[in-house]
Structure 1
């Protein structure tokens, strides 16, 4: 395990990504706890904390600039109910391959009033009854869930299904009762599991997110969904190659932190 210290933050790669957003790369450090992010001095549009050991999505300082948070391949089981107070402009959150199990566990995300893009792929929560409709109902600002555009008919169906508080509570209870094969209770100790790649890379996430926003036809959306499932991004989808990324890093001048 490695602590997320100010020193680690300062020494980690930071660069302009494919969307020309300033990104901080904290991937693959075996970080167990989110802490000391105040050391970023709120200079980043994107923070990548993928491939770590984070269990709780909490302990953020006020980051008024942060728009995208990448947390694929962690161990997240709990989310701070007041997360929106600290991340007021967060619009994209990727929680692919974590350990969220029951519908009630995503309720805190309702405090993120600007959230438009959310991925919960490869969490057991996605196997619960009425999962997608519940998330659409709970997170009113969402436009894309699990890399699929939310359709108006889905919004109408979600509104009808959860027309009362009683219906919402019953859905939460049903979620807690429903057993999913391979599901591990969150309160019990987790055994170490070999790390495995799940879902697209952060670079692919950025490219697919941009492509979905700009897509004009259902056929194009379907093609992007297939790309997501297969992990193979179409050749015509502009991600930017390694050379471009390295060049961006080299050309990127020192940040205020480094001066």
Structure 2
């Protein structure tokens, strides 16, 4: 399905119930579960998004790349879990983005993360859990080096020792051969994968239903963490 101007105009909108002790302050546009595909018309269609808009939710579609929202400075959160995204282009993110969730997509190599170097300096929280790239040795340091402004990566606070190790990484291009298959894996993420694999379909569907009706960033983050194997 294409993201046409009519789809943008007809998509549901709501105000987040509770943020930082305040009510009804963040407006969210919802494009969940529409089987949306990436195409050239998406750029012009997204210009129909009303202003101000603070959160855009593309969860559970067929997108293969990050939608271009680079012309917006009002959007602070973009939700892209359960799509088919392979490469992250930080240059397409909103200019004042703070939170980006790209859990359970198809990012497999460190090279596919290099575009994060173009992300705005406002980006503080990034979720990539559920992508194969998370299993690669040095994954966290690579992301932290690309996005020095990050404070939280995959639901875990960025530690000072990680920043030091990230600063020591050689400034070289990571080739496509650096993929998750056959590379040293992070044991904690192997456990997370095991948790998800043993989760019943009924439980997964129950969590997805809860996600569908979630109306706060905290609730969305909690459910996404469970679906990504966070324990």
Q: With the length of structure 1 as denominator, give the TM-score of the two structures.
A: 0.66
Give runs of ≥4 in structure 1 deviating > 6 Å. Answer: 196-200, 230-233
5+ residue gaps, structure 1: 182-193, 211-223, 234-259
Partner of 1:39: 48
- Partners of 2:227 and 2:100 in 1: how far apart? 21
Q: Is 1:111 aligned to 2:111, yes or no? A: no
1:131-210 to 2 correspondence within 5 Å? Answer: 131-160=139-168, 162=169, 164-165=170-171, 168-169=172-173, 172-173=174-175, 176-180=177-181, 201=211, 203=214, 206-207=217-218
Q: Is 1:127 aligned to 2:138, yes or no? A: no
CA RMSD after TM alignment = 3.2
SS in 1 for 2:78: strand
Gap change, CA 1:14 and 1:178, over 3 Å in 2: closer
Partner of 2:196: none
5+ residue gaps, structure 2: 20-24, 183-200
- Partners of 2:10 and 2:220 in 1: how far apart? 28
- Give the one of 204, 228, 233 matched to 2:225: 228
Q: Which has the larger radius of gyration?
A: 1
Check conservation: 2:16, 2:215, Cα contact below 8 A: no
| Residues 160-201 of structure 1: per-residue CA shift (max 9 Å, x gap) | 2x1x32xx43xx23x6244527xxxxxxxxxxxx9x768993
- Partners of 2:220 and 2:13 in 1: how far apart? 21
SS in 2 for 1:126: helix
Aligned pairs, number: 196
Partner of 2:188: none
Q: With the length of structure 2 as denominator, give the TM-score of the two structures.
A: 0.73
Q: Is 1:73 aligned to 2:89, yes or no? A: no
SS in 2 for 1:90: coil
Gap change, CA 1:51 and 1:109, over 3 Å in 2: same
